[in-house]
């Protein structure tokens, strides 16, 4: 259900005051030209420091790692991924929802305490036909600004996806994936113009006619990240 938030951590305070847990879910990578979209699901300890947990896009690299290191020690967390193929097949909106569902199910399978509620940034996550269909889901815009749980999920998902891009950079030298993380920067566009797209590029995101024309040849030659 959609709710207009009037205060930071409205739902956290509500459920923590009842000694209940709440799960935050957010994604990163929707606007990237390359690779998967990644969702994080995080259950914070009660009264986690909200000053540390803000929108991941507003944190420096150092602050991001500080927050992530805190969360590794003081939360229960998991990730869900939707691949570049799933993004092409489903569209980015539905692939993002799929990644969020996977993150939630992965988290609930390892966390011993069932959350009393789920908060999600903007997207109407649905867990029907699952063992968690009765857990209320609240979604609202600018979730990272209004919920430490959502901000935590955003931070952990970003660090996880950034690390994936650094690993892919080693498999695909010359594309500078570790620097731009797959987004459409000038660096990335220059690499695409010079080398053509990789099989993990999202075909529908590429705007150049030359890029589109090269895809068939590129896909035929590349079978995995180890090629």
The pLDDT tens digits of the residues spanning 91-149 come to: 999 999 999 999 999 999 999 888 999 999 999 999 988 999 999 999 999 999 999 99
Q: How confident is the model at residue 2 (pLDDT cuts 50, 70, 90)?
A: low
CB of 148 closer than 8 Å to CB of 167: no
How does pLDDT run across 28-67, given as a tens digit for each residue? 999 999 999 999 999 999 888 778 898 898 898 999 999 9
Alpha-carbon distance 204 to 133, whole Å? 33
For residue 97 the two structure tokens come to: 């929802």
pLDDT at 227: 33
CB of 3 closer than 8 Å to CB of 132: no
Q: Between 1 and 48, whose confidence is greater?
A: 48
Report helix angle 148-171 to 61-74, nearest 10.
110
> Can you name the residues that pair with 39 across neighbouring β-strands?
27, 80
Q: Provide mean pLDDT across the span 192-208.
A: 88
Alpha-carbon distance 145 to 9, whole Å? 9
pLDDT at 188: 95
Q: Provide mean pLDDT across the span 145-174.
A: 96
> Can you name the residues that pair with 80 across neighbouring β-strands?
39
All domains of the chain, ordered by start, with CATH?
10-167 (3.30.420.10), 175-221 (no CATH)
> Can you name the residues that pair with 28 across neighbouring β-strands?
38
Query: What is the secondary structure of 119-185 as a DSSP string?
Result: EEESS----TTSTTTTS-EEEETTHHHH-HHHHHHHHHHHHHHHHHHHHHHHHSTTS-HHHHTTS--
Mean pLDDT of the chain: 89
CB of 147 closer than 8 Å to CB of 11: yes
SS3 79: strand
For residue 146 the two structure tokens come to: 């209004």
pTM above 0.85, yes or no: yes
């Amino acid at each position: 259900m959609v709710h207009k938030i009037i205060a930071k951590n409205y739902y956290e305070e509500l459920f923590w005051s009842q000694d209940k847990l709440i799960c935050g879910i957010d994604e990163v990578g929707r606007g990237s030209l390359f690779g998967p979209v990644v969702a994080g699901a995080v259950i914070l300890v009660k009264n986690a420091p909200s000053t540390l947990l803000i929108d991941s896009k507003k944190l420096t690299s150092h602050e991001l790692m500080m927050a992530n290191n805190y969360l590794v020690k003081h939360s229960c967390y998991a990730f869900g991924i939707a691949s570049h193929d799933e993004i092409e097949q489903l569209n980015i909106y539905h692939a993002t929802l799929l990644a969020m569902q996977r993150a939630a199910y992965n988290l609930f399978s390892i966390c011993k305490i069932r959350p009393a509620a789920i908060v999600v940034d903007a997207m109407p996550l649905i867990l029907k036909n699952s063992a968690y269909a009765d857990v209320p889901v609240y979604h609202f815009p600018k979730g990272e600004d209004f919920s430490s749980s959502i901000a935590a999920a955003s931070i952990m998902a970003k660090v996880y996806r950034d690390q994936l891009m650094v690993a892919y950079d080693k498999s695909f030298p010359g594309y500078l994936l570790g620097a731009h993380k797959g987004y459409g920067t000038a660096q990335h566009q220059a690499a695409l113009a010079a080398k053509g797209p990789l099989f993990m590029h999202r075909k529908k995101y590429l705007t150049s006619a030359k890029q589109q024309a090269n895809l068939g040849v590129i896909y035929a030659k590349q079978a995995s990240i180890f090629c």
